[in-house]
Amino acid sequence: MARLFAFGQLMQGTAAPSDRVPRTTADPVSLPSKVVDDSVIRTALAVHLGRKFGGEVAIADFARKSSGFSWITYSFVARRPSSPDRKLILRVGPPNGLFAPYSVLPQVNALQSLAGTAVPVPALVSFDEEGAEIGFPFFVCAHVEGEVPAPWASSGLSQDHRRNIAGQFVAILGELHKFDWRGTSLAASDVAGEARGEVRAIRVWRASLARPTARYYPLLDWGGRWLEENCPPPPRRTVVHGDYRIGNFLEQEQKITAILDWELTHFGDPHEDLAWALMPTFNAGSRKFYGVVERDEVIDLYQRVSGIPISGKSLAFYEAFALYQAAAIQMCAVHAFEVDRFNDMRMAVMASQMASIVRAFDRALEAAA
Q: Is 11 within the bounds of a domain?
A: no
For the entire predicted model, the pTM comes to 0.86
Domain boundary residue, one of 143, 178, 207:
143
* pLDDT at residue number 95: 81
* pLDDT at residue number 333: 77
122 preceded by a cis bond (ω within 30 of 0): no
Q: Is 18 within the bounds of a domain?
A: no
Domain boundary residue, one of 143, 171, 198:
143
* pLDDT at residue number 31: 38
Domain residue limits at 106 = 36-143
Do 116 and 163 have their domain in common?
A: no
**Integer distance in angstroms from the first to the last C-alpha of the chain?**
40
* pLDDT at residue number 118: 98
Do 99 and 171 have their domain in common?
A: no
Do 297 and 222 have their domain in common?
A: yes
10-residue stretch averages of pLDDT, the chain, 369 residues long: 32 36 36 72 96 95 80 95 95 80 92 97 96 93 92 75 96 97 85 69 86 78 95 94 94 96 92 96 89 96 98 97 92 71 66 85 96
Do 163 and 118 have their domain in common?
A: no
Q: Which of 234, 195, 207 is nearest to 315 (CA)?
A: 234
C-alpha distances (whole Å) from 285 to each of 5, 34, 151, 173, 340 are: 30, 38, 9, 21, 31
Do 169 and 305 have their domain in common?
A: yes
Do 71 and 107 have their domain in common?
A: yes
Q: Which residues are CB-contacts of 143 (< 8 A; sequence separation ≥ 6)?
A: 75, 87, 88, 89, 122
Q: Is 1 within the bounds of a domain?
A: no
C-beta neighbour count of 340 within 10 angstroms: 18
The CA distance from 47 to 51, in Å, is 6
The CA distance from 68 to 64, in Å, is 11
Do 206 and 353 have their domain in common?
A: yes
- State the CATH number of the domain containing residue 360: 3.90.1200.10
Query: Residue 180: phi, psi to the nearest 5?
Result: -90, 100
Q: Is 17 within the bounds of a domain?
A: no
Do 123 and 179 have their domain in common?
A: no
- State the CATH number of the domain containing residue 98: 3.30.200.20
Q: Is 235 within the bounds of a domain?
A: yes
Query: What totals of helices (H) and strands (E) does the chain contain, helices first?
Result: 11, 9
DSSP string for residues in 173-199:
HHHHHT---TTSGGGGGS-TT-S-HHH
Residue 93 and residue 140 in contact, taking contact as beta carbons nearer than 8 Å: no
* pLDDT at residue number 143: 98
* pLDDT at residue number 68: 58
* pLDDT at residue number 193: 58
Question: For the chain, what is the largest distance between any 2 Cα atoms, rounded to a whole number of angstroms?
Answer: 64
User: Mapping DSSP to helix (H, G, I), strand (E, B) and coil, where does residue 252 land?
Assistant: strand
Residue 259 and residue 241 in contact, taking contact as beta carbons nearer than 8 Å: yes
Do 169 and 312 have their domain in common?
A: yes
Q: Which residues are CB-contacts of 258 (< 8 A; sequence separation ≥ 6)?
A: 120, 121, 122, 144, 146, 249, 250
Residue 264 and residue 248 in contact, taking contact as beta carbons nearer than 8 Å: no
Residue 340 and residue 32 in contact, taking contact as beta carbons nearer than 8 Å: yes
Element housing 61 (H / E): strand 58-65
Residue 137 and residue 71 in contact, taking contact as beta carbons nearer than 8 Å: no
Residue 310 and residue 298 in contact, taking contact as beta carbons nearer than 8 Å: no
Residue 10 and residue 267 in contact, taking contact as beta carbons nearer than 8 Å: no
* pLDDT at residue number 178: 97
Do 137 and 185 have their domain in common?
A: no
Domain boundary residue, one of 116, 143, 170:
143
Total domain count, the chain? 2
Do 237 and 367 have their domain in common?
A: yes
Q: Work out the angle between the directed axes of helices 218-229 and 197-209 (0-180°, nearest 10).
A: 170
Q: Is 93 within the bounds of a domain?
A: yes
Q: Is 229 within the bounds of a domain?
A: yes
DSSP state of 80: -
Do 173 and 132 have their domain in common?
A: no
DSSP string for residues in 310-359:
PPHHHHHHHHHHHHHHHHHHHHHHHHHHHTS----HHHHHHGGGHHHHHH
Q: Is 150 within the bounds of a domain?
A: no
